[in-house]
């Protein structure tokens, strides 16, 4: 009995590192796409080799990005490893994703796996019961303010200015998507515009320095 237990203990210690080595390691890579890709391939780049991981999962995140999600064995990761991905469209053209530095033993931050935040807690007291009409009015006013801001955005984007902004986004290598519209989600709208403004300002500053 003692010998059997000893043998089991020995085998456990013997195979434990192997089990750890085979642990799957999930990687998420952002890919700027302009249409729905057909397939995605994960790429694990080590010092001298690049390992292809076919059939990577294509995930559309809530931040408006398309990502390729794939797994590699943790044993394949070295201190100099990095990961990327490529997508192939149905017409045979392709696009590459960002390059992410990997650290052995340190998991990659997975945006696609983050849970949704719960709805904010609201305490309803007696005074709130009496203010329902006021609350409805407040929501109505706020909706009208949004509608007004959207109309203003539509005016500003009229006469082909939306296409002009898209052209600028493409030339700066920013996300390629349909033209900016007032009907876009407000978070996406402000994110795209701030990136474009930052890129344009940086470009203008650099150009001013180089022409000095």
Partner 1 sequence: MGKIKSISSIFGLFAFASLLFVAPVKAQQQIQILHRPIGAENLPHPGNPISLLATLTGTGSVNLDVRALVVSDGRFVEVPFKKSFLDEYDRPVYQFDFVAPLTDMSYRFILKTSGDKIISSPRYEIRRKCVPKISLASFAAPKNPTEEERIKKLVREATFLEKDIRNYEAAVKLIEELQTIIIPNKKTEK
Q: Which residues bind partner 1 (CB under 8 A)?
A: 30, 61-63, 65, 67, 98, 109, 111, 114-120, 122, 124, 128-129, 132, 135-136, 138-139, 142-143, 145-146, 149-150, 152-153, 156-159, 161, 164-165, 168, 175, 185-187, 189-191, 193-202, 204-205
Tokens of 199: 């890129």
Nearer to partner 1, 24 or 115 (CB): 115
Nearer to partner 1, 75 or 199 (CB): 199
Nearer to partner 1, 8 or 197 (CB): 197
Query: How far apart are CB 178 and partner 1 at their closest, in Å?
Result: 16
Nearer to partner 1, 18 or 158 (CB): 158
Residues 38 and 33: their CA atoms lie apart, in Å, by 11
* Cα–Cα distances in angstroms (integers) from residue 84 to residues 31, 42, 139, 182, in the given order: 9, 6, 45, 33
* Cα–Cα distances in angstroms (integers) from residue 64 to residues 9, 104, 108, 167, in the given order: 50, 29, 19, 19
Query: How far apart are CB 192 and partner 1 at their closest, in Å?
Result: 9
Q: Hey, what's the torsion of the CAs at 28, 31, 35, 39, to 10 degrees? A: -60
């Amino acid at each position: 009995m003692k010998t059997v237990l000893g043998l089991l203990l020995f085998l456990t210690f013997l195979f434990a590192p192997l089990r750890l080595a085979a642990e799957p390691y999930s990687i998420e890579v952002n890919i700027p796409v302009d249409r729905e890709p057909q397939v995605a391939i994960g790429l694990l780049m080590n010092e001298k080799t690049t390992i292809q991981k076919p059939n990577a999962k294509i995930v559309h995140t809530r931040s408006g990005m398309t990502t390729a999600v794939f797994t590699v064995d943790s044993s394949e990761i070295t201190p100099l490893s990095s990961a990327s991905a490529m997508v192939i469209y149905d017409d045979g053209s392709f696009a590459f994703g960002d390059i992410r530095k990997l650290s052995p033993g340190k998991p990659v931050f997975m945006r696609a796996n983050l849970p949704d935040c719960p709805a904010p807690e609201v305490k309803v007291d007696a005074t709130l019961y009496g203010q329902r009409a006021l609350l409805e009015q407040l929501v109505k006013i706020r909706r009208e303010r949004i509608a007004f801001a959207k109309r203003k955005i539509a005016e500003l984007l009229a006469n082909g200015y939306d296409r002009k902004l898209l052209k600028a986004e493409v030339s700066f290598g920013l996300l390629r998507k349909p033209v900016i519209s007032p009907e876009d989600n407000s978070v996406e709208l402000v994110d795209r515009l701030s990136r474009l403004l930052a890129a344009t300002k940086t470009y203008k500053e650099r150009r001013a320095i180089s022409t000095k």
